[in-house]
Structure 1
Amino acid sequence: MANQKKQTTESKETKQQQAQAMVDDLMKKSLDAFEKLRYYSQEQVDKICQAMALAAEEHHMDLAVDAAKETGRGVAEDKAIKNIYASEYIWNNIRHDKTVGIIEDNDEDQTITIADPLGVIAGIVPVTNPTSTTIFKSIISAKTRNTIIFSFHPQALQSSIKTAKILQEAAEKAGAPKNMIQWIPQCSIEATTALIQNPNTATILATGGPAMVKAAYSSGNPALGVGPGNGPAYIEKSANIARSIYDIVLSKTFDNGMICASENSVVVDDEIYDQVKEEFKKWNCYFIKPNEIKTFTDGFIDPERHQVRGPIAGRSANAIAEMCGLKNVPANTKVLIAEYDGVGDKYPLSAEKLSPVLTMYRATSRENAFDICRQLLHYGGEGHTAAIHTLDEDLATKYGLEMRASRIIVNSPSGIGGIGNIYNNMTPSLTLGTGSYGGNSVSHNVTDWDLLNIKVIAKRRENRQWVKIPPKVYFQRNSLKELRDIPNIERAFIVTGPGMSKRGYVQRVIDQLRLRQNRTAYLVFDDVEEDPSTNTVEKGVAMMNDFKPDTIIALGGGSPMDAAKAMWMFYEHPETSWYGVMQKYLDIRKRAYQIKKPVKAQMIGIPTT
């Protein structure tokens, strides 16, 4: 027994050593290619990407057929559409992006923005979308002058390798360096681990199951991983029911529901529940009978992982029905639906399904519907996608605000809507981030910008010279007479220094106030010293509180002007504290302290020279 254990350990170590040597060789070739690619111009890069996109589009059908045959999952015609999407839609979206060198020279801000590549990308590809994901990741890597080494899913190895070869050949013909795209020829956990943990791996672009994504984030290297989806779709009572059910059936049957943004459960308002159920039946959806649910669940869900069993994901509704012990399911069935009333481990079918299978919940109110959707997201889908069907736009916004999901799909098929750019204007992508909700580093649809280092050259600039002035300024000789006509002066509080009183300037202001049509009451505060103190301001505020002025007249230089403004603020906002006002600052425009704008009384400044 001990000898057998020793042999097993040695065999494992040998596998690890062989995998490491293989990955090291791939990495060396990739780094050599990167050293050439990093100096390509934008024109060279775009020419290569264009050639790759055209090659992928040319082979969209045969690659789809190969993937469907090899994996035994999905629908070949739908996989063909995914391949076109990954080439045509993705390339069209990023083709005009500047990803090389100086991408912005802002003379006004005196900044220059530069795009630099990351290096060698580790591309993890799932069994659900093998060829389309390979196309997508290859194009966005090339667009950003990164090289890529793929680790393909063992159940989709041959179709994935064929895709990578087509892309690499097209790229080389367009001038790309040899080995810009590479792959691990034989799948193994050891090889994938060696790739994602290699110190020369610049970042990991991981699409796959929770274990793979967790491994990517635990590798010690930067990672862009995406989490699972368990998206709910709320059908609210105002929804266009016929369109809503059509969209959901379309989404769940497209490639047999393997897009991770697809609906996994529908939550329906009680008022329209029966109508929705009948509409589903019109589209040949089979409602699993109550006495069939346990048998079906036992065949569908892995009790250890609380997830759909591996062989079931991506199968047709009829194939799944047969695999899970359902009898007498019509041959034309599109989607299997279980009416459900709970979420969590005790309700296994509430998990992500990756197949044309739905659970359906009856909601007693909008609040109840929101709560069910939250629970479903929490049970394995937080951060991914949630859908709502409603004609109430405010409700759709409220749903988006409250759901812990990065994509809120409104009145559209969630699966096809979630990848973007078909039913909406979201960024098209086959790698959908789930943010911190789902333990991801990004919450958006991953694109070329995620594979760039952005540098900024910031030149010295002078702070803006500025001055804020009142709406009206009277500066001509004898403009003091304007005091006669300024409206809304009934009680004026004059703030000045003792010198202004001695020289007769205060009296000149008083004379003008007396000439107003309605005699104006006034009070003079002439104790402002140079560099006025807080005591001076507080003394003036006390006099204001007794006099109740509607106008404050500051007469003199900077000292009475500043004192008057401070008195004005504390008069109208007695709750204001000196503490924040007296803190040091670098730029008054950016102070942390909030200066409250007085609004009751008006202030008139009369500078003297």
Structure 2
Amino acid sequence: AILPVTHSVPTLTGNVINMVAAGNAVVFNPHPGGAKSAALAAREYNRAIAKELGIENLICVIENPTLESFEQISKHDLIAIMVITGGPAVVKAAMTSGKRAICAGPGNPVVVVDETADIAAAAQSVIEGASFDNNLLCIGEKAVFVVDSVFKEFMASLESAGAGKLTGTQLEKLTGMAFTQKDDGGGCSHAVVNRDFVGASPARLAAAAGASFSDRCELLFAEADKSHPYVQEEQMMPMVPIVPVADFATAVEQAKVAEHGYRHSAIIHSTNVGHMTHMGRQMDTTIFVKNGPCVAGLGLGGEGYLSYSVATTTGEGITTPKTFTRVRRCVMVENLRIV
């Protein structure tokens, strides 16, 4: 299993529960930035498993992971299946490795708020979801599209609920520090998240923007257009861009573009069932939350169960122990047939 640098221990924990329950041993090749914490967690789980079952070292972690160790895992005869939780590069490498791969790839979860929504509840849900662990979750609200008729009310509700509003000038100042430009090889450049700002606190982001808010402020927000880097990139910061749109159909259209076809997660705030159905069909995401925070999609305040490996790329969805088993059919012919 391959672990991301964000949520290394929670992802490992969910994988251990699901994979061991399915009867497997696991070798983890974590991101180098999360290797020490992953190894520490694995030691504790191995102690607990050995105490209860007498099986030692059921979970193994490569303490100094490299590209070479990844390649060795992907080619090893005793590795039957690979589970990848990470970005596009490692997912692509796993899918071309020759092994069966279950891939939880990137996401850029989008939110649509229509004119029928409970605006105060929608604002509170966005704060609850996008502020969770400073918006490091792959399911966290990354961009919100709001129809014009309720846009001002929604912005006011966010501020009333304790979120910090940045001005246009402050947003651009923060954007200049939180993103860098990378040459795409075709003579153009695109925005890339500055890793120093990933998971940064609202206070640090506010300081970079030249703003100041209460210590109790959990989330920053600002009006932005549909092409802004904070809208188009999976930025993993407690700063959410709010995009005004003419109507619901336009909101879904722009949200689909910003989600980039990852089919990961989407959220709608509406009391119109037809709108919910339309967006669900258009987005075709693995997780689709109606009238709640993103975390409800993983069973935190909503139906379902928790797993940090959401296999969007290969289609298995939110992983469970059954994901890591082999389904068999056993047939008996003639013998034991009683007439």
TM over 0.5, shorter chain: yes
The answer to whether structure 1 residue 370 and structure 2 residue 249 are counterparts is: no
In 1, the alpha carbon distance for the partners of 2:262 and 2:37 equals 31
SS at match of 1:352: coil
Instruction: Give a deviation string over 1:501-527, Cα, whole Å, max 9, x none.
Output: xxxxxxxxxxxxxxxxxxxxxxxxxxx
- Equivalent AA in structure 2 for residue 357 of structure 1: M
Q: Equivalent residue for 2:325?
A: 452
In 1, the alpha carbon distance for the partners of 2:205 and 2:168 equals 17
The answer to whether structure 1 residue 406 and structure 2 residue 286 are counterparts is: yes
In 1, the alpha carbon distance for the partners of 2:54 and 2:289 equals 38
In 1, the alpha carbon distance for the partners of 2:115 and 2:83 equals 40
Look at both structures and tell me which one has the larger radius of gyration over its CA atoms. Answer: 1
Q: Equivalent residue for 2:262?
A: 382
Shift of 1:213: 1.8
Shift of 1:263: 0.7
Q: Equivalent residue for 1:232?
A: 110
SS at match of 2:133: helix
- Equivalent AA in structure 2 for residue 328 of structure 1: A
Q: Equivalent residue for 2:67?
A: 189
Q: Equivalent residue for 2:229?
A: 348
In 2, the alpha carbon distance for the partners of 1:216 and 1:306 equals 26
In 1, the alpha carbon distance for the partners of 2:30 and 2:41 equals 11
Alignment of 1:79-478 (within 5 A): 123-304=1-182, 306-322=191-207, 325-332=208-215, 333-343=217-227, 347-350=228-231, 351-378=233-260, 382-414=262-294, 416-419=295-298, 421-434=299-312, 440-460=313-333
The 1:319–1:425 alpha-carbon spacing in structure 2 relative to 1, beyond 3 Å, is same
TM-score, reference length from structure 2: 0.90
Instruction: Give a deviation string over 1:15-51, Cα, whole Å, max 9, x none.
Output: xxxxxxxxxxxxxxxxxxxxxxxxxxxxxxxxxxxxx
Shift of 1:222: 1.1
Q: Equivalent residue for 1:563?
A: none
For the 8 Å contact 2:123–2:158, the answer to whether it is kept is yes
SS at match of 1:284: coil
In 1, the alpha carbon distance for the partners of 2:146 and 2:107 equals 20
Q: Equivalent residue for 1:101?
A: none
- Equivalent AA in structure 2 for residue 273 of structure 1: F
Shift of 1:457: 1.7
- Equivalent AA in structure 2 for residue 268 of structure 1: V
Q: Which runs of 5+ in 1 are unaligned?
A: 1-122, 435-439, 462-609
Shift of 1:459: 4.2
The 1:176–1:236 alpha-carbon spacing in structure 2 relative to 1, beyond 3 Å, is farther
Shift of 1:127: 1.9
For the 8 Å contact 1:307–1:352, the answer to whether it is kept is no
Shift of 1:251: 0.7
- Equivalent AA in structure 1 for residue 15 of structure 2: K
Shift of 1:239: 0.9
For the 8 Å contact 1:195–1:201, the answer to whether it is kept is yes
- Equivalent AA in structure 1 for residue 226 of structure 2: G
For the 8 Å contact 1:283–1:334, the answer to whether it is kept is no
Aligned length: 325
Shift of 1:443: 4.4
Q: Equivalent residue for 2:186?
A: none
Instruction: Give a deviation string over 1:336-390, Cα, whole Å, max 9, x none.
Output: 22312223xxx32221121211111112111111111111112xx5210000011
Shift of 1:218: 2.1
- Equivalent AA in structure 1 for residue 51 of structure 2: K
- Equivalent AA in structure 2 for residue 369 of structure 1: A
The 1:236–1:176 alpha-carbon spacing in structure 2 relative to 1, beyond 3 Å, is farther
**Structure possessing the higher relative contact order (Cα contacts under 8 Å, 6 or more residues apart):** 2
In 2, the alpha carbon distance for the partners of 1:364 and 1:186 equals 51
In 1, the alpha carbon distance for the partners of 2:74 and 2:236 equals 26
For the 8 Å contact 1:363–1:369, the answer to whether it is kept is yes
CA-atom RMSD in angstroms: 1.8
The 1:303–1:215 alpha-carbon spacing in structure 2 relative to 1, beyond 3 Å, is same
The 1:220–1:321 alpha-carbon spacing in structure 2 relative to 1, beyond 3 Å, is farther
SS at match of 2:110: strand
